[in-house]
Amino acid sequence: MSSTTDSQAGPAMVQEGAIQRFLRATELDTRLLGMIAALILIWVGFQLIGQWRTGEGVFLTSRNLWNLMVQTSVIAVMSTGMVLIIVMRHIDLSVGSMLSFIGVVAGVTQVYWLAPMLGAEHPAIWIIALLVAIVMGAVLGAFNGYLVAYAGIPSFIVTLGGLIVYNGAAWAVIRGETVAPMNQTFELIGGTPRGSWIGGVASWGLGGLACLAILWAILASRTARRRFQFPQRPVWAEVFLAILGCCLVLGVVYVLNSAYWPPGVVTRYAREANIAIPPEGLNFSKGFSYPMLIALGVGLVMTFMATRTAFGRYIYAIGGNPEAAELAGVNTRWITLCMFSLMGVLTAVAACISAARLDAASNSLGQFDELYVIAATVIGGTSLAGGVGTIYGAMLGALLMQSLQSGMTLLNVDAAYKDMVVGSVLVLAVYLDLVFRRKSS
């Protein structure tokens, strides 16, 4: 009997051991793999449901995926800061209302102050508006951080009060009106359909540079491990990671380049360039949009800061054990103030993207965004207990959240049910985080 049992259990144990060895050799994050699997299931699910209900699935079309990436950029930018806020065992509930307030002020700065003085399309308007928004975000965030770090008020209370105050301030500035239109150059920040993209050739070039960066990072990591006598990954694992990373990058570029200019933009461009439009039409690839590039740039900078600077190491040290970090000489109050100020700057960037994308600013601009940002961060693997979280995980969580909203919108799901799904996903993500931490301990 025992021999039969052993022979039946043997293949399963061998298979489990092979998977574990593969994950250990490649050092892939299992939670990240699970999130990617969930994202694929969501995409395929919405495609099949759309095919079943309407006879034509549109979710996995290049046009919808391009729009999805643009829509994700706002939440993705803010989630990169929310990761580090939660890692430090704090939270910021004010980012949605702060986004509304900053967006309204940036809009008023352009439309009511600068445009009458300089002209609506003066080249300095978008720069001044962007600077006003960033400075304002830094100041508001620093104020939140000061109340948390030096006044000793819990971040939940401070930012909950900020949520109410900034929402009221946005209303007070414009009294419920909508400020429009924005400066045309400023609109490019938000992915306007009038040309907010870099084109196919530039996108392929950017993808090539990204592949070179992946190869350089793998080689640099191998050199550093050898220098400090750390265990090396097998060569086959390094090759696998390089091929996987490059294929993902080039696949994304291919999808984005498969989205073409809107017909109206093509017609106007052909008329201005004196190009005859053939009967079959003209197709020009969009490639990366400016909001995507902003989000990717912010993600890279925040990842470098979190993993390669003393400031980032201090943040994780504070989240792991605040008392030990302070005894080790870390100025926890100053780090907290700076992190909240940085969160304000990222919120300002997101506010400019939102206002530019809608070509308008209103006091409802960032409504519920704080919930989506927190949900994206937690879904991305950031622990509410602090000390654990990654920038790329939060950005992937933002893409997952936006995929749910976009998919339900395409299926004409009522807004009330969409909110119910988002709330349920947030609770499920927190539950899974608790289960994961219990198993890890």
pLDDT digits (tens, 9 = 90+) for 206-235: 999 999 999 999 999 899 888 888 888 899
Q: Which CATH architecture has domain 63-195+289-412?
A: Orthogonal Bundle (1.10)
Size of the chain, expressed as the number of residues it contains: 441
Cα–Cα distances in angstroms (integers) from residue 242 to residues 180, 211, 213, 296, 352, in the given order:
46, 8, 10, 19, 35
| Cβ neighbours of 243 (radius 10 Å) | 11
* pLDDT range class, residue 44, cuts 50, 70, 90: very high
3-state DSSP assignment of residue 309: coil
Work out the average pLDDT over 313-320. 95
User: Which region among 47-61, 144-158, 268-282 has the lowest average model confidence (pLDDT)?
Assistant: 268-282
CA–CA dist 262, 268 (Å, integer): 10
Q: Above 90 in pLDDT, residue 296?
A: yes
Q: What is the pLDDT of residue 18?
A: 82
Q: What is the pLDDT of residue 440?
A: 65
Report the amino acid identity of residue 96: G
3-state DSSP assignment of residue 221: helix
- What DSSP string runs through 285-300? B--SBHHHHHHHHHHH
Query: Hey, what long-range contacts does 408-412 have (CB within 8 A, 24 or more apart)?
Result: 410/46, 410/50, 410/58, 410/59, 410/64, 411/46, 411/49, 411/50, 411/53
- Spell out the domain ranges in the chain: 63-195+289-412, 197-287
What pTM did the predictor assign?
0.91
Question: In sequence order, which ranges of 228-281 are alpha helices (DSSP H)?
Answer: 235-257, 263-272
Beta bridge partners, 179, equal 361
CA distance between the termini of the chain:
36
Work out the average pLDDT over 6-18. 52
pLDDT digits (tens, 9 = 90+) for 96-131: 999 999 999 999 999 999 988 888 788 899 999 999
pLDDT digits (tens, 9 = 90+) for 393-414: 999 999 999 999 899 988 888 8
